[in-house]
Amino acid sequence: MSKKLIAGNWKMNGSLAANEALVQAMLAGIGQPPAEVALCAPAPYLAQLQALLQGSPIAWGSQDVSAHEQGAYTGEISVAMLKDFGCRYAIVGHSERRQYHGETDEIVAAKAQRALSSGITPIVCVGETLAEREANETESVVKRQLAAVIHTVGHCITEIVVAYEPVWAIGTGKTATPEMAQAVHAVLRAQLAAATTNPKRVHILYGGSMNAANAASLLAQPDIDGGLIGGASLKAADFLQIVAAAG
């Protein structure tokens, strides 16, 4: 495994002024980061990130991408558009997209394939709800979600990033213990090992309320290769502390 990956997901937050202050603070403190670092912003701010981050150690990406190449899909954003703005990553299948926008495993897989076709790395999110965890369905749920992507992208599976986000721990302040998170990451790694000879090439990120206080213990687990960071990515000091913990 190469360096760990710490990716910020700003969700639907930000403004031109706030973004500039946040990014400048991150750039001032990041130095030579011990991990790969990226920020995934709302689409209207991708041009701003391109201008602010070009030539820096921080990559940038989108929070979604259309499964379609172009055409009459009002409100959708194509992978070619993301390429225009220098995006390296695109989050696909975030639990909020699955929950609020009805995205199925098949749609998520199609979006991942579309991103890969243009050289953008999809960050494929998987994770179980509280009800699914309490019914002991965590393993079957995350394996089903990842299986759809493996089936669709085939031998390109080593080009994706996976993010395990227990839905019950997103934005709630609740976090899986490092041992709980590691157990699911190990399941996902084994599933990847069955699909490719190089499963360690795939970063598997943890994304359930990772913050400055718990990052080090989570990132110390053998199959946790980084984090997909929500709220803490809106605070420069906290985000930089998480990046430092990935060293």
* Binding-site residues from annotation: 9-11, 171, 209, 230-231
State the Cα–Cα distance between residues 210 and 147, nearest whole angstrom. 25
State the binding site for substrate: 9-11, 171, 209, 230-231
Distances (CA, A) of 196 to 91, 105, 108, 157: 22, 20, 20, 7
Question: Is 94 designated active site?
Answer: yes
Question: Is 165 designated active site?
Answer: yes
Q: Which of 103, 132, 165, 203 is catalytic?
A: 165
State the Cα–Cα distance between residues 176 and 91, nearest whole angstrom. 21
Q: Which of 36, 94, 96, 185 is catalytic?
A: 94
**Which of 115, 122, 104 lies closest to 68, judged by CA?**
115
**Which of 35, 86, 94, 30 lies closest to 64, judged by CA?**
94
Question: Degrees (nearest 5) of the Cα angle 166, 189, 79?
Answer: 70
Strand-pair partners of 91: 123
State the Cα–Cα distance between residues 159 and 75, nearest whole angstrom. 27
Catalytic residues: 94, 165
